[in-house]
Amino acid sequence: MLNIAKVAEAESKFRIHFQELCKIEIVIHDELKEYADGKKLKGNERVGWLGEIYGKLLLGGTLVADKEEHDIETESGAKVSVKARKGFSAGWQQTSAIPKILGTDCPTHLLFVHLNEDYSIDRIWLYKWSDLKNRFKPKTDRGEQRGYIFSVIERSDEPFIVYRG
């Protein structure tokens, strides 16, 4: 049996909070757009947006279109892929899938941005892509390889930290 009344009651209770949240998300999105170099901030990916924008500001670069294998280009010619994670739950050290790790169109650097639960910066690591070849691991989904992942190793990656919040 369906309990429609309980769902309606919960939805009613949450509605005002989600309306407030939506208004705040619009303000955050609009303020972040000022730093996006014209790049469209798609979806509702605050963690990724913040990672790219903090990376751009840190490196003095420019955000590039999504069709590229990297997210930031710097004046010195670096092509930086940015991966960002929030919180300290299991797996926070692991990137999302990286589609390609070899080839001339691959990034020159990987920037890993870790945010605290409140979206403040915990730490930022910067790696040369060429130094990571042995650290990329295949990412599989339902038995098929879907790219690669990289994991930060806190103790041994200490020298790669370029920013502490």
- For 16-28, write each residue's pLDDT tens digit: 998 999 899 999 9
- For 30-43, write each residue's pLDDT tens digit: 999 999 999 988 87
Q: What is the mean pLDDT of the chain?
A: 93
Long-range contacts of 14-20 (CB under 8 A, 24+ apart): none
At 11, is the secondary structure helix, strand, or coil?
A: helix
pLDDT confidence bin for 141, thresholds 50/70/90? confident
Listed in order, strand segments (DSSP E) in 18-103 are 62-63, 72-73, 79-86
Percent of the chain with pLDDT strictly greater than 90? 79
Q: What is the mean pLDDT of residues 108-120?
A: 95
Q: What is the mean pLDDT of residues 94-105?
A: 93
Other Cβ atoms closer than 10 A to 111:
29
- For 66-86, write each residue's pLDDT tens digit: 889 999 999 999 999 999 999
Q: What is the mean pLDDT of residues 128-132?
A: 96
Cα 56 from chain centre: 13
* Spatial distance between the Cα atoms of 135 and 121, rounded to a whole number of angstroms: 24
- Measuring CA to CA, how many Å separate 127 from each of 15, 48, 107, 113, 119? 43, 18, 11, 12, 22
